[in-house]
Amino acid sequence: MPKIPVAILGATGSVGQKFIERLIHHPWFEITALAASDRSAGKRYRDAVNWFQQTPLPPSIGEMVIHPCKPHLEGKIVFSGLDSRVAGEIETAFAQAGYLVISNSRNHRLDADVPLLLPEVNPDHLAVLDQQQTPGKIVTNSNCSTMGLVMALKPLHDQFGVKAVHVVTLQALSGAGYPGVASLDILDNVIPYIGGEEDKIETEPLKMLGHLQNGSIQPAHIQISAACNRVAVVDGHLECVSIQLKTAATKAQLIEAWTTFRGLPQELELPSAPRQPLHYFHEDKYPQPKLHRQIEDGMAVSIGRLRECPVLDWKFVVLSHNTVRGAAGCAILNAELIIKTRRDSVGLSIPG
């Protein structure tokens, strides 16, 4: 069977470029169309994009002509890295036209019939897809900082119950898209505000860690307070987290919960699944963005500095690669999980 044809919406952006980098050699998917705004449509990709990935732009992709984001693209799946100012309507139009839409944008994340999917955490939430009335379906990724945080909370919540979370983020520049933050604003500086971000981190985990009841997702009861900062790091969001637990746990139990944690992607051996989703560092100075964001090809989340918190119970540091685990890499893992577990409802099978 041939590979599944896929299109990328927002292909010129920070997340769109990561999609190309990670899909170009994917065993199941083949990039058949690229789309972006009217500023780029009609141009060859290499003339429209400012390619800033560390791997060279694949020549075959560079020659592709960019389409407008209209639902006439060659492909069965569309991976969306669209600016959230326009993503909502465009993604709906693609779902109405029968495409499986795998989105990174915030627009549909909290819709009741849309899974806010993190494959290691809530694969059962895919059940709400059956409630979507369109011929195609929409599945979303969370915010990039939410993703690392929820990965770290999941095994603790399952085993000990998480009651409250306080998180301070140090977020990388690539999280602001391209061209993102002006150099004169960020060099020699930290910006203690990222529009809309704290809201997302305080609400999205509740849906992701929620449980299915009578076909709908009931939110988890966790109090979350977030403070977000932009720092002069290229890739990799660091988060300083304090938590309160429902049941007391020792330091050794928490570390064991993280290091032994595995999810459905590991069990199914999906192509993009990290072998070990959570890595714990015992060295006081780790994890660090520059050193550890690429662990397991950027798909693993790193944790360190677990110690007692005088205000809540425990505090620690979490690091995740924002455009890989926090965006394109996770979106591709979402698509792999859907094809592997729900091939009948989406009408797609694994090539081979």
As annotated, the active-site residues are 144, 237
Under the binding rule (CB under 6 A), the answer on residue 178 touching ligand NAP is yes
Token code pair at residue 134 = 């369109």
Among positions 14, 122, 140, 320, the unique one binding ligand NAP when judged by CB under 6 A: 14
Among positions 6, 22, 31, 40, the unique one binding ligand NAP when judged by CB under 6 A: 40
Minimum distance from residue 316 beta carbon to ligand NAP (Å):
22
Are 328 and 242 spatial neighbours (Cβ–Cβ below 8 Å)? no
φ/ψ of 332, rounded to 5, equals -70, -40
Residues forming a β-bridge with 102 = 79, 139
Under the binding rule (CB under 6 A), the answer on residue 210 touching ligand NAP is no
| Residue of this chain nearest to ligand NAP (CB atom) | 13
Segment interacting with ligand NAP, rule: CB under 6 A, options 111-119, 149-157, 241-249, 318-326: 318-326
Under the binding rule (CB under 6 A), the answer on residue 82 touching ligand NAP is yes
Question: Which residue, 71 or 305, is less far from ligand NAP as judged by CB?
Answer: 71
Are 76 and 96 spatial neighbours (Cβ–Cβ below 8 Å)? no
Which residues contact residue 300 at a Cβ distance below 8 angstroms, ignoring those fewer than 6 apart? 274, 276, 277, 278, 279, 325
In terms of Cα–Cα distance, which of 252, 231, 249, 248 is closest to 240? 231
Under the binding rule (CB under 6 A), the answer on residue 83 touching ligand NAP is yes
Under the binding rule (CB under 6 A), the answer on residue 13 touching ligand NAP is yes
Per-position x/- string for 43-72, each x denoting binding to ligand NAP as judged by CB under 6 A, each - no binding: --------------------------x---
Minimum distance from residue 88 beta carbon to ligand NAP (Å):
10
Which residues contact residue 219 at a Cβ distance below 8 angstroms, ignoring those fewer than 6 apart? 206, 207, 210
Are 334 and 119 spatial neighbours (Cβ–Cβ below 8 Å)? yes
Tell me how far CA of residue 131 lies from CA of 38, 80, 126, 206, in angstroms.
Answer: 33, 21, 10, 20
Residues in touch with ligand NAP (CB under 6 A): 10-16, 36-37, 39-40, 69, 81-84, 86-87, 104-106, 144, 174-175, 177-178, 322-323, 326-327
